[in-house]
Amino acid sequence: MSTFATHPVDDDTMKPDSQAAHSPSTQAAIAARVATFARADRWFERLTLSFAALVLLSLAGLLVSLLYEAWPAFRTFGANFLYGTTWSPSDDVYGAVIAIYGTLATSAIALLFAVPISFGIALFLTETCPLWLRRPLGTAIELLAGVPSIIYGIWGLFVLAPLLQSWIQPLLIATGLPFLAGPPLGIGIFTAGMVLALMVIPFTASVMRDVFETVPPVLKESAYGLGCTTWEVVRNVVLPYTRVGVIGGVMLGLGRALGETMAVTFVIGNANRLAPSLFAPGNSIASTLANEFAEADPALHVPALFALGLLLFVITFFVLAAARWLTARGTRRAGI
């Protein structure tokens, strides 16, 4: 027989805790706490939803107000406003082609120069830059984004325009290209595009650098271990991994270029005429609004300016929609 006596477990010693855990007062307290948490979650969800709705309402209000103010111009000129090439406040005749062309041309020139330079800056900072130089150089590039646009405009008018007029534009005119013809005036659409490129570079380069730094080091180390060069790692590893961020950086720069006002106003020439040469003076939507809104006649001139603002809104919307479509298309192709 076993020398150990078997003693029955006294259930009474467990009853107080069990009864306390299942007592009506404890269950009521737990239920109240759960209800409090659920109510807090509902209020938090409603609060965040209200923030999102506020943005949508603001956007809708902006669109409706622009449509309301621009309606007299669209009612008077109809479709002629969209493809008319005459902008004459003295005759009350308005067409948006000159401003649209200037806006798109200066933005295209800006991206043509800014995107490759920004890409090179981002790659240098993340792949080949020495550690002691990486932080100060990156900080200096980010500080350029904080320079006021009017400073860029003054610098472009008094420094860049004479430089382009004396050295760059004569060389480009000698190429014989039709869109680079005409006298070297210094100011014009080309100069405005160059100033915008300098303003776009800090934004685009900073975004590209940040997204390049998100690539896991193990992916790049694996590629280097297989014998890939730096360019092959960038092309086959870094760019596919950061495609969405790179497109976002380019679109951020494009948005800055489309809506820039003061810097462009200083150097574009502010001429309401349509010229085939990029060296000729022109106008953009933003510069037209800045130059004419204060002295505009409320009859048709002000509605025409509101119509230009609406067109800039629509152009920006379609640019962002195209960027979103490109991003989604690339993601589908990658099988993500």
Please give the residue range of the domain that contains residue 280: 94-334
Tokens of 61: 């209000």
Q: Quickly tell me which residue has 């330079």 as its tokens.
A: 117
CATH number, residue 282:
1.10.3720.10
CA dihedral 225, 135, 123, 243 (to 10 degrees): 90
**Quick check: is 300 in a domain?**
yes
In the chain, the number of structural domains is 1
Residue 2's pLDDT band, with cuts at 50, 70 and 90, is very low
List % helix, strand, coil for the chain (3-state, nearest 5).
75, 0, 20
**Quick check: is 30 in a domain?**
no
The predicted-structure confidence for 52-90, as pLDDT tens digits, reads as follows 999 999 999 999 999 999 999 999 999 999 999 999 999
pLDDT of 3 > 70? The answer is no
**Quick check: is 208 in a domain?**
yes
pLDDT of 20 > 60? The answer is no
**Neighbour-count burial of 137, counting CB atoms closer than 10 A to its CB (0-12 exposed, 13-18 middle, 19+ buried):** middle
Mean pLDDT of the chain: 89
Cβ pair 316, 256 in contact under 8 A: no
What is the pLDDT, as a whole number, of residue 164?
96
pLDDT of 15 > 80? The answer is no
**Quick check: is 37 in a domain?**
no
Residue 319's pLDDT band, with cuts at 50, 70 and 90, is confident
For the entire predicted model, the pTM comes to 0.87
